[in-house]
Every structure is written in C-alpha cells, then in structure tokens.
Amino acid sequence: MTFAKQTALDDNPLPLDHLAERGERDAPAVVLRDRVLTHGELSERVSLLAGWLEGQLETGARVASWAAKGELTCLLPLAAARAGMVHVPINPLLKRAQAAHILSDSDATLLIATASRLKSLEDIDIPAGCAALDEAAAWQEAERAGVMLAPSERDPEELAAILYTSGSTGKPKGVMLSHANMWLGAVSVAHYLGIAADDVTLAVLPLSFDYGQNQLLSTWYAGGSVVPLDYLFPRDVAKACAKHGVTTLAAVPPLWVQLTEIEWPEEAVTSLRRVTNSGGALTVEIISDLRAIFPETHIFPMYGLTEAFRSTFLDPALVADHPTSMGKAIPFVEILVVDENGEPCGAGEEGELVHCGPLVAQGYWQDARRTAERFRPAPAASKYGGTAVWSGDRVKRDADGLLYFVGRRDAMIKSSGNRISPQEIESAALATGLVAEAVALGVADEKLGHAIHLVVRGEESEELKKSLARELPNFMQPHVIHWKDAMPLNPNGKIDRTALAKEIGA
C-alpha cells in the first residue's frame, strides 16, 4: 500500500482559524449525519459563526460547548479562535456537577449545549454572567445576524482553547493552548502520519480530548475530510469505516481491545491506511491482533500528555520488532530523559521524560501553583530552552534512541523495599492470554508498604496466578487478584484507575 506523504514541514504558525481555508473548496471537509460540508462551506460556516460570536462577547471571553459531535462542536474551535475568544469544550459524557465545575473554573460567559444537557443544569450550576443557548438556537441567531467574519490576523501566541483533563487525580484542571500550539500540532501529526487531501478520518475520540481535536485539525490542514462519530457499540466503528471508506482511525487502548474482538468487513479493512493510538500504551497482544486484522495498515503507537499534546510516535516499520517502544520525538518536539539533577541520562538509564519545544502549553488556567510544579525551565541540555513540561513519567532510551515507558513516578508501587512499575505486572498478565485488560495497583500495607492488587477483565482462572508465578519475581507477585466483567472507563475512554483504586481500597 502507498499513500501520499507530506514532504515539507510548515513551522510558521498561523492563527488557528486559517485551518478552515486549507482544502479545495469543492472537496468534502465534514461528513455530518444529514449532509456533507465541503471545504468551501466549512469556511463559510466558520465565518458565519465567528461573526455572530464577535457581536455577542468581548475578546478573550470563554465560550463553552457541551454537546455530541456535530456541526457546532466541530466548527466552534475555529470560529471562537477567529472571533478572538477561547473555546472550552466539555466532554458530553460528563455529568452535571463536572460540567458546572468547568463552567465556573473557566469563567465561561457563553455555554452552547444540547437542549437535554441544558435542562439537566440547575440555575445554580450556570455561573452568573454566563448565557446559555442550545445548538439550534445558536445557529438560528448566527444565521439571523448574517455577519461573515474574514480569516483573522491574530497573534499565534494568543490563547485559543482551555482543555480540561479528565480529573483522574482530583478536580479537572484546564490546560491553556495557544493558536500556535494547536496549529503546529496539526502540522506535525499531518506530516508524520502522511495525511493527504484524499484521506478520510473517522473521529471517534471525544473532541474535548487533545488528540480528539487534532483528528479534525490535522485532517483539515492536509485538506482531507472528517466523519464525526459518537458510537454505541464497537461494531458501529467498523461499519462506519466501511460506509465512508475511512483511511485514518485513532483510538485509546480500551477501545482497541474491543475493536480487536469484533468481525471487520473486508471493505473497512482495505480502506484503512493507518491506525493510531493515544491515551496509554498498546500492549504486545493488541499490536499482534491489529497486525492480524489489518495486515496492510500502518500502525502508529504514540505517547503524549495534554500539557504538551503529543510527544513521541513509533515508526510503523519498527512496530514488529519494538512493539513496546514509545518511539522518538514527533516534529517540533525535543524529548530529554534526565536524572534527579536534570542531567541527561545515558542509554538504558531510567529518568524523567521532559518535553521541550513549541507544543508546550501555556500552563493551567488560573492555577499558578500547579503550573509551577509541571511547567518549569527546560534542562540546560535543551536546544529549545524556555519552558518545558516535566512529565513525571519514568522512561528509558536505548542505544538506537528509542524510548520505553517505565511508569509514572507517583504510580510506582513500593513493596518490601522494591520500586515496582505497574506496567511490568500488567504486561505479564496480558502476555498470559488469560485476560483482556489488567491494572496493577498498590494498596497500603503495614508490613509491605504496598500490597500488590491486580484487577483483570476475563474469565476467572487459577492458571493466571500460576503463570505469573512463573514469569515474575517473588516481590512482583500480586497479593490479590480481582476479576471483573468490565473495567470502569473515564470520559476519555481510558481505564479509570482512580475508580478502581477506590473500589479496592487503594
């Protein structure tokens, strides 16, 4: 299989809304349920929505959206940026209290949502000074106003969006992204994935998720088209791939597990040029299953964090021989592995991953303390300098420069004086073939420090304990194994480790 490859990187960021002007005017840009918007229509509808917003709010105002994937949620990131406002997407899977927190924390002055979600909010949930409209009313007002706003000439360093994390470690915090952050993220991904104007991306990830938004932005940068999909069942994804001739599909590991357990129509398999992963590492077993289902499709494992978008990807040509690697830095990114003193680690030495370069976000919205903890001056060895994201993730780099994830510093299990990576235990459990998903957690124990609890999805079997006894050293053996029929997921589709920890008393 061959497909077009971007040959040059555009490292000159423009205002984000210029992405609406990238494609051929008559080529499809967004495949909605009831109609298709061409790139020309995309440009016009962004102009219309931006013109209305400019007449309603002051420059810099926060505009929140809380709705399923559709015309409004796809176009608002560009329209708000064109109008000089800041988009705050709220995951449609969040409940009333979580949405209310985001509205209050961001000081939103406008909320556009589905009528049912607006109805779920009480008067006390919507901050004073925040207007609320349903999607249909917003479009009606924009069309009634009829004001078309031309592409902006805004400073690319201006704030364009606040993306709230899933809140797995407490209250969600808002990550501030500039026009340049999002523009260069789109350029980078379009380049290393080789996205072209004839590509069709199935957007299954939440648009409130950094890579979820990038599904749109990188595709539009390349002049391709996007099919937004809110799916109920994994088979809905396969059916959509077949129906629309999808060439690009991104998912998170729990969804990939589900997608490898269903039958795929031949037309869905043959159209896919690339599949990508975010939100957690792909296991050897998932990669093996993906290669079996999609033998001619390029597989792109990735690593990233909302504070800096995407950090690394593994070249598909290396996946078979290095399935557990995170790969190397994506374009516009410098990845350093440093020791406790901020000095570069040698090959094979474990250290903290530090992300440098223009994809580093502007910090956390109205949270100077947590910003100072994560966004710190780059190590002296950095070629970019400036502010870097100190990830807290422990990684190693091999002699060939490939990175490997070890674990999060704050997720390490400390048992009987040993520092244990949960991922090592999880990988061993998955490698037995007896479970489909696995999460290792440390539970406080007076004698051990942490007792190791392993939560797995699969059919209960004593053989798992025997297999782990063969494969892992004594100090890494789970003290308790919890069998589940289904794992809890957070709103971004990742396994909710916080919920599991509460459930088992960790």
Confidence at residue 409, expressed as pLDDT on a 0 to 100 scale: 67
In this structure, the answer to whether residues 102 and 222 fall within a common structural domain is yes
- 337 within 8 A of 403, measured Cβ to Cβ: yes
CATH of the domain at 54: 3.40.50.12780
In this structure, the answer to whether residues 208 and 312 fall within a common structural domain is no
Length of the chain: 506
Residue 9, helix vs strand vs coil = coil
Three-state SS sequence of 154-209: CCCCCEEEEEECCCCCCCCCEEEEEHHHHHHHHHHHHHHHCCCCCCEEEECCCCCC
Q: How far apart are CA 363 and CA 429, in angstroms?
A: 37
Confidence at residue 475, expressed as pLDDT on a 0 to 100 scale: 80
CATH of the domain at 466: 3.30.300.30
Q: How far apart are CA 380 and CA 397, in angstroms?
A: 19
Asked if residue 239 belongs to a domain, the reply is no
In this structure, the answer to whether residues 106 and 214 fall within a common structural domain is yes
Q: 463-486 burial, b if ≥16 CB within 10 A, otherwise e?
A: ebeebbeeebeeebbbeebeebee
Q: In this structure, how many other beta carbons lie within 10 angstroms of the beta carbon of residue 141?
A: 14
In this structure, the answer to whether residues 416 and 472 fall within a common structural domain is yes
In this structure, the answer to whether residues 369 and 429 fall within a common structural domain is no
Asked if residue 9 belongs to a domain, the reply is no
- 223 within 8 A of 24, measured Cβ to Cβ: yes
In this structure, the answer to whether residues 370 and 422 fall within a common structural domain is no
- 241 within 8 A of 271, measured Cβ to Cβ: yes
- 297 within 8 A of 273, measured Cβ to Cβ: yes
In this structure, the answer to whether residues 429 and 335 fall within a common structural domain is no
Domains identified in the chain, total number: 3
Asked if residue 334 belongs to a domain, the reply is yes
Q: How far apart are CA 92 and CA 209, in angstroms?
A: 11
Q: Look at residues 230, 256, 276 and tell me which one is the last residue of a structural domain.
A: 230
Q: Look at residues 362, 388, 407 and tell me which one is the last residue of a structural domain.
A: 407
Asked if residue 314 belongs to a domain, the reply is yes
The pLDDT profile of the chain, 506 residues, written as one tens digit per residue, is 334 445 578 889 999 999 999 999 999 999 999 999 999 999 999 999 999 999 999 999 999 999 999 999 999 999 999 999 999 999 998 888 888 999 999 999 999 999 999 998 987 789 999 999 999 999 999 999 999 999 999 999 999 999 998 543 446 789 999 999 999 999 999 999 999 999 999 999 999 999 999 999 999 999 999 999 999 999 999 999 999 999 999 998 889 989 999 999 999 999 999 999 988 788 889 999 999 999 999 999 999 999 999 999 999 999 999 999 999 999 999 999 999 999 999 999 999 999 999 999 999 999 999 999 999 999 999 999 999 999 999 999 999 999 999 877 667 787 876 768 788 899 889 999 999 999 999 998 877 888 999 999 999 999 999 999 988 878 889 999 999 999 999 888 889 988 999 999 87
Confidence at residue 283, expressed as pLDDT on a 0 to 100 scale: 86
Confidence at residue 427, expressed as pLDDT on a 0 to 100 scale: 87
Instruction: Report residue 227 CA to chain centroid gap.
Output: 17
In this structure, the answer to whether residues 342 and 323 fall within a common structural domain is yes
Q: 47-75 burial, b if ≥16 CB within 10 A, otherwise e?
A: bbbbbbbbebbeeebbbbbbbbbbbbbbb
CATH of the domain at 397: 2.30.38.10
Q: Look at residues 230, 248, 270 and tell me which one is the last residue of a structural domain.
A: 230
Asked if residue 212 belongs to a domain, the reply is yes
Confidence at residue 413, expressed as pLDDT on a 0 to 100 scale: 86
Structure tokens at 393: 């993730």
Asked if residue 260 belongs to a domain, the reply is no
- 185 within 8 A of 161, measured Cβ to Cβ: no
Q: How far apart are CA 408 and CA 393, in angstroms?
A: 4
Torsion of CA 338, 340, 345, 348, to 10 degrees: -110
In this structure, the answer to whether residues 82 and 148 fall within a common structural domain is yes
In this structure, the answer to whether residues 222 and 325 fall within a common structural domain is no
DSSP 282: P
Q: How far apart are CA 128 and CA 278, in angstroms?
A: 37
Asked if residue 237 belongs to a domain, the reply is no
Apex 360 CA angle, 384 and 54, nearest 5:
125
Q: Which domain holds residue 426?
A: 412-504
Confidence at residue 1, expressed as pLDDT on a 0 to 100 scale: 36
In this structure, the answer to whether residues 398 and 432 fall within a common structural domain is no
In this structure, the answer to whether residues 226 and 329 fall within a common structural domain is no
Asked if residue 336 belongs to a domain, the reply is yes
